[in-house]
Structure 1
Amino acid sequence: MSTGVASPVAGKVVAMGDVPDPVFAQRLVGPGVAIEPEGGPQEALAPIDGTVVTLHPHAFVIAGADGRGVLVHLGIDTVKQKGEGFTPHVVQGESVRAGQPLIGWNPDSVRAAGYSAVVPVVALDAAETALSEMLTGGEAVAGDRLFVWG
């Protein structure tokens, strides 16, 4: 069984190795791809159908029915913003559909606060070889497939 993982935001596709954080760049939590988001206020979308198993103002994990978890992290070191500028629209434990708006945020505000706004999308604890059809360059459209897991 495979899972299509959609982009939570629109922007430029960035290799995970180019993310300015060693946890993501070295794929310590899993492989994936990152997006350098467009500026201005926007909504971060659910990348898969599933349940919100972890929710922070700046990050979330959605677990699919098969138990696979996808982490979306809105910016790097944005935990230091203590939720400022992020507006969650869901609660932990809620069932969501791919493409559903989960968190409102503004990448320009993240950049203005001195942080990278890049958005890693990670297949948690997956083998690198488990991902296919990965976007490796160009532009991602919010809601369009980034990669297939499985």
Structure 2
Amino acid sequence: MSTTPVHAPVSGRAVALRDVPDPVFSQGMVGYGAAVDPPHTVVDAVAPVGGRILKLMPHAYIITTSENVGVLVHLGLDTVALKGVGFSAHVAEGDTVAAGQTVITYDVPAVVAAGLNPIVPVVVMDEREPANVVVGDAVVNGAEIVSGSALFTASK
């Protein structure tokens, strides 16, 4: 069994996944993890793990680690509707990235102005066992977290 530390892709208030106001995330439909409610400024969303960019969309990205753990970062809820407005990619699909490397610049005020929730869910793709994801203290306490800090640990 391998363990993968997953770091916060943005700074903000750490949020338990069950508290994300979208059932796709809160009910673990795509996997388990945690979320970060970012400040209402333009922020750089970074890689929460090192690995290869498996999928890159304006509003979301999936990184696969060398242990074949896929981690999804979704910038805001229903942000696919913005068709890329408010997001600037710094990498391409297939690129290898280091944990902490900037992936997308995220214009949080543009998302809020569009009436959308800017929260950033981070999940282990296709993880069906909630016990395999152990959240950090910041998530348990709903505390502020700094980009790059431990968000949760995934076991596979």
TM bucket, shorter chain: over 0.9
Partner of 2:116: 115
Percent identity for Structure 1 against Structure 2: 44
Deviation for aligned residue 1:60? 0.2
Gapped regions of structure 2 (runs ≥ 5): none
Partner of 2:59: 58
Deviation for aligned residue 1:33? 0.5
- In the aligned structure 2, how far is the partner of 1:133 from the partner of 1:13? 10
Q: Which moved more, 1:31-40 or 1:132-141?
A: 132-141
User: Are 2:33 and 2:135, in contact at CA under 8 Å, matched by a contact in 1?
Assistant: no
CA offsets 1:93-129 (integer angstroms, 9 cap, x no match): 0000000000001112111111000000001122211
CA offsets 1:55-78 (integer angstroms, 9 cap, x no match): 000000000001110000000000
Gapped regions of structure 1 (runs ≥ 5): none
- In the aligned structure 2, how far is the partner of 1:89 from the partner of 1:68? 22
- In the aligned structure 1, how far is the partner of 2:135 from the partner of 2:36? 16
- In the aligned structure 1, how far is the partner of 2:126 from the partner of 2:143? 26
Partner of 1:31: 32
The 3-state SS of whatever aligns with 1:5 is strand
RMSD: 0.9
- In the aligned structure 1, how far is the partner of 2:133 from the partner of 2:86? 32
Partner of 1:6: 7
Q: What is the total number of aligned residue pairs between the two structures?
A: 150
